[in-house]
Structure 1
């Protein structure tokens, strides 16, 4: 039945500034209306809705105001540089300082690489890529960076 996630929504305080930011991430506008602007994440498969709202200042919690964008491993390897080239600072996450990311996330026997940053309203954004799924025997420790993980696991 379910094949993927089609849409996510974020509140923004300045729609024009947000349009410029998300366009700078390489997203294409799918629709711009008086109440919402949609950007394609993957055309015809998923999009992001930006809503001008006074709720843009709602305190952050991972369950709200967070979107994770899937990226390929090769893009993840250069994400730190790519974000810097676009004037976007990587923020600390899960006890790992921004400059040491992408970091490795472990959920049971599933491993992902991720890097965290914010949009102009402080909405939490993430680039994430799966590395190993259902892999009980890999080298991992909390705070491990992608480069360390790849080397330790001979990848």
Structure 2
């Protein structure tokens, strides 16, 4: 029945600034009102809604305001440079500094590589790339560089 995630919503303080930010991530603006904007993640299949409000509070639990964008492994290898070119800094996640990322997540059934960053309102964003590696047993998270030394 369920085919995937269609939409997610995030609160933002300044819609114009957020539209500029999400446009810099190369997402296409699908719909806009004075207090709401939707961006296609995959046109016609999934989008993110940004709602301007003065009730954007931090700290918060990241599960409440987090979006992971699916990318391929080639994009994840270049993600830090790609983000830096747009003036976006990475953030520490799971004890790994931005310099140590991408990080390998031992999610079952397959491992994933991920890079973490924030939008202008502190919403948690992630680029995540599934790896062609079935997780048979638990292993510690590691950087992609460490992973490559063991698996390439």
Report the TM range for the smaller structure's normalisation. over 0.9
- With over 3 angstroms needed to count, the CA separation of the structure-2 counterparts of 1:109 and 1:41, relative to structure 1, is closer
* Cα deviation, residue 110, structure 1: 2.8
Deviating beyond 4 angstroms after TM superposition, the runs of 4 or more aligned structure 1 residues are none
Distance 1:22 1:52 in 2: 14
Contact 2:15 2:35 (8 Å CA) reproduced:
no
Contact 1:27 1:40 (8 Å CA) reproduced:
yes
Distance 1:52 1:113 in 2: 31
1:88 maps to 88
2:76 maps to 76
* Greater mean alpha carbon deviation, residues 104-113 or residues 65-74: 104-113
Gaps of 5+ in 1: none
Say yes or no: does 1:124 pair with 2:124.
Answer: yes
* Cα deviation, residue 59, structure 1: 2.8
2:25 maps to 25
Gaps of 5+ in 2: none
Contact 2:111 2:130 (8 Å CA) reproduced:
yes
Say yes or no: does 1:141 pair with 2:150.
Answer: no
Contact 1:60 1:123 (8 Å CA) reproduced:
no
* Cα deviation, residue 109, structure 1: 4.5
Residue 62 of structure 2 aligns to a residue whose secondary structure is: coil
Residues 10-65 of structure 1, C-alpha deviations (whole Å, 9 max, x = no match)? 00000000000000000010000133110000000000000001222243212211
* Cα deviation, residue 106, structure 1: 1.2
When the two structures are aligned, how many residues end up with a matched partner?
152
Superposition RMSD in Å: 1.6
2:43 maps to 43
* Cα deviation, residue 108, structure 1: 4.1
Residue 55 of structure 1 aligns to a residue whose secondary structure is: coil
